[in-house]
């Protein structure tokens, strides 16, 4: 059976899976091939972080940035994280990759700080295995120590379902990170199954409303109501609230009108290279008074 063969191959290590190729289904062989390519991707410098701005809806200015991994494969071109992060997670490769992401993101934020820009917090996505099976707090501490980045300028994005899994250890790890001064966000909020009573057990600072609720806020009454409810919930619990997947002025205006703190999405800026993001830091606010006037938000 394919899973058993895969497991066997994994146990045998990096060069030996060919012996089992005869019993592998094409899908499994593809995955093994991708896995072996991913193994060398860090050393071969094929991985890069792109950065997407998070916008403060009061000022219209860049508030922080989310680091999103990109894999530029020499033959296959750009491979989306949706296509390799799950595999990296299953195989354990996420551990070295995740550590590289944390370190690189901290180094980048420190560089922005030293260039004299306003302090930009950097958000890093954490995978389930990193939260549950590694020493995440120690890895984060090492990255902060080595780069000199103030802990408050590092944000970790953790999904709701990750927190609900292995809850005791998750809460303990999050408390360790919180004690260090790191900022914590719940990613894809609303898609998991955290009950409200659990939410207050987690020492988090921010809710990220999942883009599936944001997409139709301007036209779907239910989505509009859900988004308003999440904003209220967040504020009652003293959390900051950000909406992801904001693609239009209408969506941005709705969120601003309903006191959402921040927004992120193609309307404000796509994920871009570090060089391009550095240039963005010097450009004026996107959500100008003129835009707000147009949307009827300012008299």
C-beta of 30: minimal distance to ligand C2E in Å? Answer: 20
In the complex, minimum distance from the CB of residue 94 to Mg ion, in angstroms, rounded to a whole number: 15
Q: Does 85 bind ligand C2E (CB under 6 A)?
A: yes
Smaller CB distance to ligand C2E: residue 47 or 292?
Answer: 47
- Distance (Å) of CA 279 to CA 17, 149, 283, 284: 45, 21, 7, 11
- Encoded one letter per residue, x for contact with ligand C2E by CB under 6 A and - for no contact, window 251-270 reads --------------xx----
Q: Which of ligand C2E, Mg ion, none binds 80 (CB below 5-8 Å, type-dependent)?
A: ligand C2E
**Per CB under 5 A, does 99 bind Mg ion?**
no
Residue 22 DSSP class: G
- Does 223 contact ligand C2E by CB under 6 A? no
- Here's the x/- map for ligand C2E, 6-45, by CB under 6 A: it reads as ----------------------------------------
Helices (H), the chain: 2-12, 26-41, 81-91, 94-114, 128-133, 136-147, 160-164, 167-180, 196-199, 211-214, 221-236, 249-257, 274-280, 289-294
For the segment 52-81, give every residue that binds ligand C2E (CB under 6 A): 52, 68-69, 80-81
Residue 261 interaction partner, one of ligand C2E, Mg ion, none, beta carbon < 5-8 Å per kind: none
Q: Which residues of 61-83 are buried (b: 16+ CB within 10 A; e: fewer)?
A: ebbbbbbbbebebeeeeebeeee
Residue 99 near ligand C2E by CB under 6 A: no
- Euclidean distance between CA atoms 241 and 234, whole angstroms: 6
Rounded Cα distance between 152 and 203, Å, is: 14
Among 64, 104, 127, 185, binds ligand C2E (CB under 6 A): 127
Q: Quick one: 24 or 156, whose CB is closer to ligand C2E?
A: 156
Taking CB under 5 A as the rule, which mask of x and - marks residues 145-164 in contact with Mg ion?
------------x-------
Looking at residue 19, what DSSP letter applies? G
Who contacts 279 (Cβ-Cβ below 8 Å, separation ≥6)?
A: none
Q: Which residue is it, tokens 């944001």?
A: 214
- Report yes or no: 41 and 84 within 8 Å, Cβ to Cβ: no
271 makes contact, choosing from Mg ion, ligand C2E, none, with CB < 5 to 8 Å by partner type, with ligand C2E
In the region spanning residues 201 to 220, those forming contacts with ligand C2E, defined by CB under 6 A, are 211
CA distance 241 to 237: 11
DSSP for 227-292? Answer: HHHHHHHHHHTT-EEEE----SHHHHHHHHHTT--EE-STTT---B-HHHHHHHTTSPPSS-HHHH
Question: Applying CB under 6 A, does 155 fall inside the site for ligand C2E?
Answer: no
Candidates 27, 75, 82, 219; binder of ligand C2E (CB under 6 A) is 82
**Residues binding ligand C2E (CB under 6 A):** 52, 68-69, 80-82, 85, 98, 101, 125, 127, 157, 187-188, 211, 244-247, 265-266, 271
Site for Mg ion, rule CB under 5 A: 125, 157, 187-188, 244
């Amino acid at each position: 059976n394919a899973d058993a063969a895969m497991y066997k191959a994994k146990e045998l290590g990096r060069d030996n899976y060919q012996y089992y190729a005869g019993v592998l289904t094409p899908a499994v062989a593809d995955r093994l091939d991708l896995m072996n390519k991913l193994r060398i991707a860090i050393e071969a410098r094929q991985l890069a972080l792109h950065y997407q701005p998070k916008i403060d809806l009061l000022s219209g200015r860049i508030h922080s940035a989310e680091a999103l991994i990109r894999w530029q494969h020499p033959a296959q071109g750009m491979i989306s994280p949706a296509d390799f992060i799950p595999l990296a997670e299953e195989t354990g490769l996420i551990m070295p990759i995740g550590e590289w992401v944390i370190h690189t993101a901290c180094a980048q934020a420190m560089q922005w700080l030293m260039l004299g820009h306003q302090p930009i917090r950097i958000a890093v996505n954490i995978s389930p295995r990193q939260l549950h099976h590694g020493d995440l707090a120690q890895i984060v501490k090492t990255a902060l120590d080595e780069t000199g980045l103030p802990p408050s300028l590092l944000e970790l994005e953790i999904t709701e379902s990750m927190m609900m899994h292995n809850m005791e250890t998750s809460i303990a790890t999050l408390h360790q990170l919180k004690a260090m001064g790191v900022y914590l966000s719940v990613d894809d909020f609303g898609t998991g199954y955290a009950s409200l009573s659990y939410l207050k057990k987690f020492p988090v600072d921010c809710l990220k409303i999942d883009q599936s609720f944001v997409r139709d806020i301007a036209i779907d009454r239910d989505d509009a109501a859900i988004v308003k409810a999440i904003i209220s919930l967040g504020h009652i619990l003293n959390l900051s609230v950000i909406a992801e997947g904001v693609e239009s002025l209408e969506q941005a205006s709705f969120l601003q009108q309903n006191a959402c703190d921040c927004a992120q999405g193609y309307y404000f800026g796509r994920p871009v290279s570090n060089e391009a993001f550095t240039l963005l830091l010097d450009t004026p606010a996107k959500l100008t008074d003129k835009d707000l006037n147009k949307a009827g938000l300012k008299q």
